[in-house]
């Protein structure tokens, strides 16, 4: 299944790139040939050529559209063929003792279980989709020997939080880190000369750390990412800390209708319950310190949410929960991220605490038309409701 989806990912990337810069075919008509001087003059006037009708022009336009679709289809076919070639190569290889599948300087896959990994310095290229949808890895260190990170190499690694790329890497392909929802910090070198437009697509809250004046800095600024000229460091969790966390994608696509979060849990990572469309209600206990990005995204059956003081609700945490009707957020919550409850089209009642200090202006976009925020009088939440023009009352 992973290999089939990886091939699909390549097609999606191709489609995204086509959308970013599509080309229209141009038809150049040759001028009409002038009659040669030696040609006999017609004694009878030839009938004038009928002008093209709107229907004929429409047919020409449709023909050009079909021609463009055929070109696009050829590109997609090439992408699929390449994905199949890579898959066949993976099947022919055996992982080393650390779980890496490497051949002739190319890293094709990782079958290991370690959350913090260092790519071997024998690797010169990380192949496309090498870590596709790997939910185990949390931090990756890429050595100077690696010159290229292929397209979709780390596609949708929801648990990935930190990436360190050493000086020497030159290219990061399109979609290389697409939809790594939990990615927070990336160290990029001055040696980078090419970063694909969609390399860090669909990530909220990312900070790029790179030398001032570098291509990486320009990329961060042009795409609106956070930027720092100081490299970040990563502190790995201990085994005990990791045991108290609901991991990225751990319960994704579950078919349960209810779920109890244990009092020992301190964090819910990115995409932890994504697509649990049978889940009807959830209570987040106060010991949980943050709800990760996209943690409950697309839980269509979720109707009621109770958050007992969790300090941070990250971007898109409950996005597209279209059946959600009410949310109660208790005292202790301070931050609600971008689109945290966006597209919850049935959401009509949200109870916000006096402790709220920072609510993104897009947190409640595209909810029910009759959405009401219930807020304490004189609180930040009340001022927020007025600023974004959402009806409110003080019935809390």
Q: pLDDT value at position 364?
A: 98
The CATH architecture annotation of domain 98-236 reads: Alpha-Beta Horseshoe (3.80)
Name the residue ranges covered by the structural domains of the chain: 98-236, 239-396
Q: pLDDT value at position 242?
A: 93
Given a contact cutoff of 8 angstroms between Cβ atoms, the answer to whether 393 and 374 are in contact is yes
* Residue 362: CA count within 13 A, CB half-sphere: 11
**H/E segment holding residue 207:** strand 207-209
Structure tokens at 289: 């310190």
Q: Which residues contact 94 (CB under 8 A, 6 or more apart)?
A: 101
Q: pLDDT value at position 392?
A: 98
**H/E segment holding residue 83:** helix 54-91
Q: pLDDT value at position 85?
A: 82
Residue ranges in the chain modelled with pLDDT below 50: 1-4, 7, 11-12, 14-15, 17-47, 55-56, 59, 62-63, 66-67, 70-71
**H/E segment holding residue 281:** strand 281-284
Given a contact cutoff of 8 angstroms between Cβ atoms, the answer to whether 338 and 316 are in contact is yes
Given a contact cutoff of 8 angstroms between Cβ atoms, the answer to whether 8 and 80 are in contact is no
- 141, with CB counted inside 10 A (0-12, 13-18, 19+), is middle
Q: pLDDT value at position 52?
A: 52
Q: pLDDT value at position 66?
A: 41
- Backbone φ and ψ for 273, nearest 5 degrees, come out as -120, 20
Q: Return the CATH class of domain 239-396.
A: alpha beta
């Amino acid at each position: 299944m992973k290999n089939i989806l990886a091939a699909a990912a390549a097609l999606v990337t191709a489609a995204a790139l086509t959308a970013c810069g599509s080309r229209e075919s141009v038809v150049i008509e040759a001028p009409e040939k002038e009659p040669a001087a030696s040609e006999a003059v017609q004694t009878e006037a030839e009938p004038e050529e009928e002008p093209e009708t709107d229907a004929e022009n429409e047919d020409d336009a449709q023909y050009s559209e079909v021609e463009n679709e055929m070109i696009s289809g050829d590109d997609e076919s090439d992408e699929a063929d390449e994905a199949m070639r890579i898959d066949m190569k993976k099947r022919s290889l055996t992982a080393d003792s650390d779980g890496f599948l490497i051949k002739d300087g190319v890293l094709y896959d990782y079958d290991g279980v370690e959350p913090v990994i260092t790519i071997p310095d024998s690797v010169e290229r990380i192949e496309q989709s090498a870590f596709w949808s790997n939910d185990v890895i949390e931090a990756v260190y890429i050595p100077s020997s690696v010159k290229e990170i292929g397209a979709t190499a780390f596609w949708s690694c929801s648990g990935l939080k930190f990436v360190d790329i050493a000086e020497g890497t030159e290219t990061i392909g399109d979609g290389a880190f697409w939809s790594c929802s939990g990615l927070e910090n990336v160290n990029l070198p001055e040696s980078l000369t090419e970063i694909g437009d969609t390399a860090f697509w669909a990530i909220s809250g990312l900070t790029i750390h790179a030398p001032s004046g570098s291509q990486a800095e320009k990329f961060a600024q042009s795409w609106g990412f956070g930027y720092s000229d100081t490299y970040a460091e990563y502190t790995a969790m201990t085994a005990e800390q990791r045991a108290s966390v609901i991991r990225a994608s751990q319960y994704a696509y579950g078919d349960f209708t209810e779920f109890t979060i244990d009092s020992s849990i301190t964090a819910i990572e990115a995409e932890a319950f994504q697509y649990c469309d049978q889940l009807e209600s959830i209570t987040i206990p106060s010991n949980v310190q943050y709800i990760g990005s996209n943690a409950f995204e697309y839980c269509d059956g979720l109707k009621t949410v109770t958050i007992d003081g969790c300090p941070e609700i990250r971007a898109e945490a409950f996005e597209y929960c279209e059946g959600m009707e009410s949310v109660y957020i208790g005292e202790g919550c301070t931050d609600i991220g971008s689109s945290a409850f966006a597209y919850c089209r049935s959401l009509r009642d949200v109870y916000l605490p006096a402790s709220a200090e920072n609510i993104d202006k897009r947190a409640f976009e595209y909810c029910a038309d009759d959405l009401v925020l219930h807020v304490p009088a004189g609180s930040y939440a009340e001022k927020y409701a007025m600023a974004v023009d959402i009806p409110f009352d003080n019935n809390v």
